[in-house]
Structure 1
Amino acid sequence: MDGGNEKELGRKPTPTELFVHTHTRKHDKETFVDQKSKEMHDAIVARREELTQTTPDNIDENQLYLDVVRGGEKRRKVYGLGSESSTFYPLVGASSSRVSASYNYQNAALQRRVQELEKQLEDERQAMTEQMDQMKLEMETNMERMRSSMMEEMMRLVRDLPTSLPPPPQN
């Protein structure tokens, strides 16, 4: 595991990297400060190995960590992350009014988006209906032209028929 230090990694550490950094002696990434920390790390590693079997290229490190330590939430913190919990999981342990306000905002935004999409769909349906009506009118016009042309041709053929019929052949 890489260190839990952003400067050392050149990016923000994952929750697991931060946990290992803060729960090993002298940040050596091997000697855990207590048995619970070691067990938690082992559980994280085991869970990652399970996920690697099913979705090797698509592991969400934040969700993996939260799934393993889910039972360790207390005092609005996620076990092992202390005050950094909110960096990774802003709504874990948040007050119900803050969560409610967040969900209400998201719900309102989603409802607006649904209304926009419904209007867009209705506009597209209207345009399609108008286009189909136009095509139907053009088709009827073309059919009438064809009918008229055929009638004219039939009348010409009838005019050009001989007036008297030849006698029937004799056997």
Structure 2
Amino acid sequence: MFNLLIWVSVRNPNSYTTLGLLVFDLEILPKLIQYWNSPLFQSKSEIQKRNRNSGVDGRPSTQTGGSLSHKKHAIHLAEKLKRKPTAGDVFKYTHSKNHDSKTFIDPKSKQVYDNLEAQLKELSQNVNDSAVAQPIDENKLYFDVVGEKNKKNVVYGIGSSQSIFYGPNKSHDTNASGIGSQGNYNEDYEKLQAELQEMKDLVKALNEQQQVMESRLLIMAEPHSNDDPDLPATDEDSHN
């Protein structure tokens, strides 16, 4: 039975991108093509296309988070930074090229960043000049900079992660800190940690399958000599 080798992109929780080698029997390929052409798949594809182009005037979305939710990005940042990220951290990470938190993808994102940095610098200066040091509430500062929720009831720039920082009903009338409870954060963190572990286990299994297939392909590609005792003798060999 001949096999078809297909390289596919696989989500990796650590590096976000890797390649895996999958092998399909040729008998399966027509079924895959049939599924790709089905109304169900086409409908899902169209939805994903609209999501990718959900930016202003139908342009590509003005964030670089990909298919991973902002909440999952927040958990990833917590691991990377070794601390609970702020709303500003999540915004900068998901709105900058290559997640460098410096090169922003559109003018609005750059303006929000500049305003946030200016306000933070001013508050830091006031704290330094004060006789009694007061901690800066960076999550409240971010909310004050971006303003109210948008038409989708979402705080601009941080998507689903807003529940971590502000709770489910954040508004200007909430308490002074405006931060979601530590209990909510810990619960979200544990759930997403479990999901990340599942993803890591899946990637590990795929990598192991890839290594097995690569080893088999190498063995198949090795030249075989007629002197190999495991190979049957040819007519020419029997005459010698």
- TM-score with structure 2 setting the length: 0.35
Structure with the larger strand share:
2
Look at both structures and tell me which one has the larger radius of gyration over its CA atoms: 1
- TM-score with structure 1 setting the length: 0.49
Return the structure number with greater relative CO, CA threshold 8 A, min gap 6.
Answer: 2
Structure with the larger helix share:
1
